[in-house]
Amino acid sequence: MLFKPLLLGICLSTCCFAYTVGAAPLAFITNQQSGNVTVINTSNNAVEATIPVGKEPAGVSVDNIGKYAFVSNPGDGSVSVIDISELKVVRNLNTGPGPLALLAVGDRLFVADWYDDYVSIIDTRSWETEANVAVGRSPSGLVISPDKHTLYVSIRDDNLVVAIDTRTLKLTAKVETGERPFGMKLSTDGRTLYVANVMSNSISVIDTQAMQLKAHVSVGERPYAVSLALNDSRAFVTNQYDDTVSIIDTTTLKPIGLIDVEEYPEGINTHCDDLHVYVANWFSNTVTVFNARTGEITDTIDTGDSPRAYGNFITSQTD
């Protein structure tokens, strides 16, 4: 493991909220080639269940009320709806031909369609599509502001991030990024957006108040997704071709270390304890868990074939 020690003050961890008494947060890992989802109990990192879904599942989003986990299936143009309490698919939604990134917020599900260049908004009470919002070529990542009024979308083939007003469903701003922006993470206060640029080997850091670029930060080869930990003091970026995770100090916006994971890391998410980070390794059929403060690998968990887990895949999260 390559790692540069971190000098940190006191870290304020968030408190994990259990949806049922005694329940631990669950991680929902999409396995693209085996067509299923591995559910990991994060209290002991044991596999709780394996759930069949649609064809070639990739994206995932757990809602912020602990009811559903949504899975995008680009192989058959659908979204599987998993009941978290029952750990089974209770509904399949037909979408456009290329659903990828998902974001479940309250009674809405946002679906970025890779092929048809729009974001769909689905009402999860009626299961009806409210609208399809044209955004640009190959929308790839989704995050939402803390007040839920602004949706940010990375537009891979236009090298942009766009902002959408979720009340009017109008595009309100855009910012140029590096080449091929993909996974994103928004700071807890909503003021800073971190965007992984797959072809630029960098992340773009965007001031969302001004909708202006603050910096480009170099990372490893083919960065895919971003997560934050330790009270947002560190950003972690999966580097597909390097089999590593880059560590970035979010105060100085400087890379400060690397963590060796397994082969072709993609999806990354921080546990609600704000300390343990989970990484899906597509080619190794595993999930790596590491300690964000020390960089120590604390567990490796076997999954199905080709885990991607692109999105917010751990319950008890608010974004």
DSSP codes, the chain: ------------PPPPPPSSTTPPPEEEEEETTTTEEEEEETTTTEEEEEEE-SSS--EEEE-TTSSEEEEEETTTTEEEEEETTTTEEEEEEE--S-EEEEEEETTEEEEEETTTTEEEEEETTTTEEEEEEE-SSSEEEEEE-TTS-EEEEEEGGGTEEEEEETTTTEEEEEEE-SSSEEEEEE-TTSSEEEEEETTTTEEEEEETTTTEEEEEEE-SSSEEEEEEETTTTEEEEEETTTTEEEEEETTTTEEEEEEE-SSSEEEEEE-TTSSEEEEEETTTTEEEEEETTT--EEEEEE-SSSB--EEE-BSS---
Q: What is the pLDDT of residue 16?
A: 60
Predicted TM-score (pTM) of this structure = 0.94
DSSP symbol at 156: G
**What residue type is assigned to position 277 of the chain?**
V
Domains of the chain listed by start with CATH number: 26-312 (2.130.10.10)
Per-residue model confidence as pLDDT tens for the chain (319 residues): 344 334 333 333 334 644 443 478 999 999 999 999 999 999 999 999 999 999 999 999 999 889 999 999 999 999 999 999 999 999 999 999 999 999 999 999 999 999 999 999 999 999 999 999 999 999 999 999 999 999 999 999 999 999 999 999 999 999 999 999 999 999 999 999 999 999 999 999 999 999 999 999 999 999 999 999 999 999 999 999 999 999 999 999 999 999 999 999 999 999 999 999 999 999 999 999 999 999 999 999 999 999 999 999 999 854 4
